[in-house]
Amino acid sequence: MFETISYETRGKTAWITLNRPDKLNAFTSLMHKEMVSAIKEANKDSNVRAVVITGAGRAFCSGQDLSGSTDTDYGEVLRKGYNPMVQALVAMEKPVIAAVNGVAAGAGMSLALACDFRIASEKASFIEAFIHVGLVPDSGNLYFLPRLVGHAKAMELAVMGEKITAEQAQELGLVTKTVSEEEFMLEVETYAEKLANMPTKAIGLIKRYLNKSWESDLNEMLEYEAQAQKIAGESKDHQEGLHAFLEKRKPAFTGK
C-alpha cells in the first residue's frame, strides 16, 4: 500500500512507521504524500481511537533527505509537503503519540513536536539541525517549540542547534516520558491502549480547543468551553461515564 512508510492497525490503535531505515527515515516528497494519506486513513476509521507514529530501525526521522536535491525553493517544499502533514495531524481529533525510538532531527523533530504526546526511548535524541545548514526551523517547529519550553529556551535550542538527550528533553518538557530501550515498545503499546480506551470525543474536543486557546481571550474560551461541553454532554461516552460512576464500576467507553 505504501513505499516509504508502513501502516497497520493493532486493536484500536493505528501505527504509522516511517520506513526508510537505510536513510534514517529521512523525508522525501513521496513520504509526505504517504504520511498525509495514512493520517487521513486513521482519522476516518471509526475503529481507530489512537495513533502512534514511529520510525523503523535506529532513527525516528533525520529530517529532509537532501541527497541529490536541486530544489532550493524550500518554501514550496513546505507548502506542498510538510505543511499538509502537520495540518492533518493537528486537525485529527484523536490522540497521536510520537514514539521516538532514536534521533529526531530537523523536520523529524518538528514531526514529533506536532504530535500530542512524545514517548522517548532512552536512546532517543532531538536536534534542531536547521541552523547547521543555514536554515530556520520549519514544519510547525517555531509554533510548537516555544509552547512546550518557553520563548527563551526555544530561541536557545533553535539557534544553538545542540543535541538534546532523551533525559534532557524530559526535563525541558519536550517529552511525556522517557523509557528504557528494553521497555520502550511495551510502554508505547500500553500508553496507546490506555488512550484508545478513553472517551475519544472528549479528547478530540480538548485537543481542538487547547489549540484555539493560544489565539483566544478569556471570554472566547469560556464560550468555546460551553460549546465543547454541550457536545461532550450529548455523547454516549458521557452517558456511560455517568452510569459507571453511579454504579461504582469502570466505564467502558466506545469513543462515540
Helix H, strand E, coil C: the string for 96-147 is EEEEECCEEECHHHHHHHHCCEEEEECCCEEECHHHHHCCCCCCCHHHHHHH
In this prediction the pTM is 0.94
CB atoms within 10 A of CB 64: 28
DSSP states along 36-67: HHHHHHHHH-TT--EEEEEESTTEEE--B--T
- Residue ranges of domains in the chain, CATH in brackets: 5-196 (3.90.226.10), 200-246 (1.10.12)
> Quick one: cell of 33?
504524500
Q: How far is CA 80 from CA 28, 85, 155, in A?
A: 12, 9, 27
> Quick one: cell of 27?
523525508
Provide φ and ψ at 145, rounded to 5°: -60, -50
In whole angstroms, give the CA distance from residue 215 to residue 72: 33
Give the pLDDT confidence score for residue 140 in this predicted structure.
96
Taking only the tens of pLDDT, the chain with its 256 residues reads 899 999 999 999 999 999 999 999 999 999 999 999 999 999 999 999 999 999 999 999 999 998 856 567 889 999 999 999 999 999 999 999 999 999 999 999 999 999 999 999 999 999 999 999 999 999 999 999 999 999 999 999 999 999 999 999 999 999 999 999 999 999 999 999 999 999 999 999 999 999 999 999 999 999 999 999 999 999 999 999 999 999 999 999 999 9
